[in-house]
Structure 1
């Protein structure tokens, strides 16, 4: 009973300190299991760390109260700092007194940094655009990367830029060639199905050849490559993550893209079907659905300057997506940070569907 009363009194003491925006007295700094007495008044020592996922900045300002530490965590991209013990917001005055600058919590724009060491990733369509950006980000995060694409020149430049990436040159629209090239690819923990073609044709002029090519590359190859990789994951008894790069045109359509939009709509349901059947094997499957990204493929959609202007104005953020925006979503879905996410799609559409 006495312990419970002390705990309640201690909690209200913390609340009072926060409401008054006062520095916490009798503070201690704990680092790597060691404690060190520090002054009751600012400036307080602080330790700013980059965690393994590369995204969190931790400000270790521990309050000593009968050996029970109070840690304040600052997340990059946010300006809020919370007490892990009581989940109380800490006022800006206290931060200023503690010598913690507001800029500590602001994230610079760039590719998300996560730790994929010890994992092997396969990325299709890795020669350019989103696929290339994903392959480079995974390589930088410690993964062993297998880069698959049709153009050998793109693979050569990628391997020069990122030594250690394993290149595979194959036309994923060819079932037999794909089986030969990837049938013995070995263990894969992470798969990104990014390869796609966008053959622009008005609906009334769409040809059998364009339709078949679109579905063979954009949908059938996803089925084929995912089957190979998933069977390997199941045989090894490991959890895995698969990300299909779809598009917001799975939900809305643009002129001249009847074939492409159809393939992305099919990918949405294929992603859900894969997630349902592979889930019991601890394999997660998700998609990212970006708006126009100004890659070589995206530029085909925006060749008409007037159409591109009107399209951008339809986006509440008045912008198209950057390659890094899509790559960051892919990395999130591949990582354990999304461990309970499967069968879902992340819209990277600058708010387009909300308009």
Structure 2
């Protein structure tokens, strides 16, 4: 198992399924985890379960992110906070929803990276950042104009950040998961006309679990991935590669 003893790692979106699974794995591996979310109330279950330190801020607010992260001695970050927005075509999309999805998924992750990387550079210990992207950034998915665009932007943030931060020993990668079939996902992906054809196209033929995503995130944070940076790792049962 990876050892993160004496390493402080910030996980945004920690109240969600993937974020929570990541917090649990990192705590088990000895990390000092800061579990971040939009409200302290929403973080109570994961904090009670793991002993992680809660931290609340709005991903759309630069001032809140700056104030929350200033003074933290961070070694690593998992940008897992995000919002799905709507299912709509380019013709039908609500631009206000598009703007909010971009503000949370892309702009918010960049702001966290901006202020977290400053801490990591100050400490001079290197570190690692993992951005939770999506298969929707790698292939065109019906109805995903806003979400897919936000995650494509996040993948480019990953690549440019890897290029710029490598000189400080900071690695930056993304994971690009398929659907994790939570109640939030099931309203769309659970429809027979959507689920059936999608799984038929996927070589492994099943949706991901939270731990299917959390495991590779922890790997990319770990020293086992010491020579990996700027990568976008599909965790999609082969969907985007066939």
- TM tier relative to shorter chain: over 0.9
2:38 pairs, out of 101, 126, 150, with 150
Query: Which deviations, in whole Å up to 9, do the C-alpha atoms of 1:281-305 show, x marking residues without a partner?
Result: 1100001011111134433441422
User: How many positions carry a matched residue from both structures?
Assistant: 241
Distance 2:92 2:112 in 1: 31
Normalising by the residue count of structure 2, what TM-score does the alignment of the two structures yield? 0.95
Quote the residue 2:80 is aligned against: 194
| 1:289 aligned residue (155, 176, 199) | 176
Q: 1:307 aligns with which of 175, 178, 194?
A: 194
1:133 aligns with one of 12, 21, 41 = 21
- Structure 2, unmatched stretches of 5+, are none
Tell me the SS of whatever aligns to 2:5. coil
Structure number with the higher helix fraction is: 2
Give deviations 1:287-327, integer Å, cap 9, x for gaps: 10111111344334414222111111110111111111111
Indicate if the aligned counterparts of 1:128 and 1:154 stay in contact, CA closer than 8 A.
no
1:57 aligns with none
Q: Is the 8 A contact 2:37 2:43 kept in 1?
A: yes
Contact 1:123–1:135 (Cα < 8 Å) also in 2: yes
| Cα distance in 1 between the residues matched to 2:30 and 2:182 | 25
CA distance in 2, matches of 1:183, 1:300: 39
Give the Cα–Cα distance (whole angstroms) in 2 for the partners of residues 305 and 154 of structure 1: 31
1:277 aligns with 2:186: no
Q: What RMSD in Å do the two structures reach over aligned CA positions?
A: 1.4
- Mapping of 1:162-201 within 5 angstroms? 162-163=50-51, 165-184=52-71, 186-201=72-87
Normalising by the residue count of structure 1, what TM-score does the alignment of the two structures yield? 0.65
1:212-263, Cα deviation, whole Å (9 max, x unpaired): 1101110111111111111111111111000000011111122221100001
Task: Find the partner of 1:218 among 96, 100, 105.
Answer: 105
Distance 1:296 1:278 in 2: 37
Q: Distance in 2 between matches of 1:230 and 1:146?
A: 15
Q: Which structure ranks higher in relative contact order (CA pairs < 8 Å, sequence separation ≥ 6)? A: 2
1: distance between equivalents of 2:152 and 2:142?
A: 16
Tell me the alpha carbon deviations over residues 139-189 of structure 1, each in whole angstroms, 9 at most, x when there is no partner. Answer: 1111111011124333111111112x11012221222222233333x1110
Structure 1: gaps (5+ residues): 1-52, 54-113
Within 5 Å, which residues of 2 pair with 1:99-114? 114=2
Partner of 1:257: 144
Q: Establish whether residue 239 from structure 1 lines up as the match of residue 126 from structure 2.
A: yes
Q: Is the 8 A contact 1:285 1:343 kept in 2?
A: yes
